Structure 1
């Protein structure tokens, strides 16, 4: 499915009926050949937007998966780079691609770092956290950053109600809620639980100063709104 080297429909079904951790362990060897991997276009646009704010010292990729975020961190960070994820399978793939990086297996809702990083990023992972779990996630990132440190991540604009994607994402989230109501263990992945204002509110409550400039490198939508914004959450100096 997606490509000849990607997962089959049966493999995706088995993953979807597993826990989040075990599902990603199963998907890890073929993850980079699916649309779930953050695109290089989005990674490069993020790096371009962050470059004028650097250089940075050490960098952290939160929910690093197979390590795609190192395309952003390694050129921007002069110190060590670290990725953290709870899936051993994803980390094994990340280590194979980037053996020079420090890879840490941990639950990112209780990150094991204190004032260790200057830049933290995350890509495509926030839908794996229920809204009630985000305060612990953002508090852990806040603790992991040095004073003046920055958390950055892109967030897509909401599709208009008349678009195909509005209804596709609504249908996916509805199907996921039904799946989690009738099947255990749950697989938490929702596309509509991370609106921009909710992200701003949760980050501000964690102590960050938040700005959300448009990612101009990706251009506007047909209605003139930005396709993506870059959330920049700064820990006070």
Structure 2
């Protein structure tokens, strides 16, 4: 599951018994050698879809971690790119390792639930971070994203179809979420990370309530399931208004 450069079982246990912020500070130096990092195949597929929709001017990577998604933004944004995360350790690694070609990159430490930006971005992306937000936090989170986007701006992120109930993956994720709930019932501070809490129907509803026009685009690189549904979708939530640049994403 982990490469030899990844964290030891003891290091993972210490992280899991910490707060989310402290846990990621500890994990940061080895994070890119774990399965938690967004796979390059997902980053490439999202980048291809956004290139067809762009170009954009300013982009924000929400909960950027060690900066895996910054390269996606650098490939579609012309003026500047910003990564924001609340873990100082993850941002330190990002500053050291990420040197993308393209527009200048800045790094900001902040909580996604209280973003310190004016509406200056044309595109916000996020990769693999939504399990850290409880369902009741989605309205506030999406309101924050809306607040930093210009009229016509877009919020885009990949969403993997949940595994079928009969599959090993389903039971693995269910077991992980149950362990985390027991851990959080018995131990403080809480470590919020639930793989099954971010559901497509909830996402669509809360984005619409936040004022977004929501579209779904199948990412063809990952194929379709037996029932014909996409294995991976790109969720594109667009604000009404005239975008600052030509281009839009079609489902």
Would you say same fold, with TM above 0.5? yes
Q: Is 1:44–1:71's contact at 8 Å kept on the other side of the alignment?
A: no
Q: Give the alignment of 1:71-220 within 5 angstroms.
A: 71-98=71-98, 100-220=104-224
Report the more deviating stretch, 124-133 or 220-229: 220-229
Q: Which residue number in structure 1 is paired with residue 51 of structure 2?
A: 51
Give the CA deviation at 1:136: 1.1
TM-score calculated relative to the size of structure 2: 0.92
RMSD: 1.0
How many residues matched?
A: 237
Distance 1:89 1:175 in 2: 26
Distance 1:226 1:44 in 2: 17
Report the more deviating stretch, 96-105 or 58-67: 96-105
Runs of 4+ aligned residues of structure 1 deviating over 3 Å after TM superposition are: none
Unaligned ranges ≥5, structure 2: 242-251
Deviations, residues 147-173 of structure 1 (Å, cap 9, x unaligned): 000000000112111101111111110
Distance 1:233 1:222 in 2: 27
Q: Is 1:57–1:117's contact at 8 Å kept on the other side of the alignment?
A: yes
Report the more deviating stretch, 215-224 or 21-30: 215-224
TM-score calculated relative to the size of structure 1: 0.98
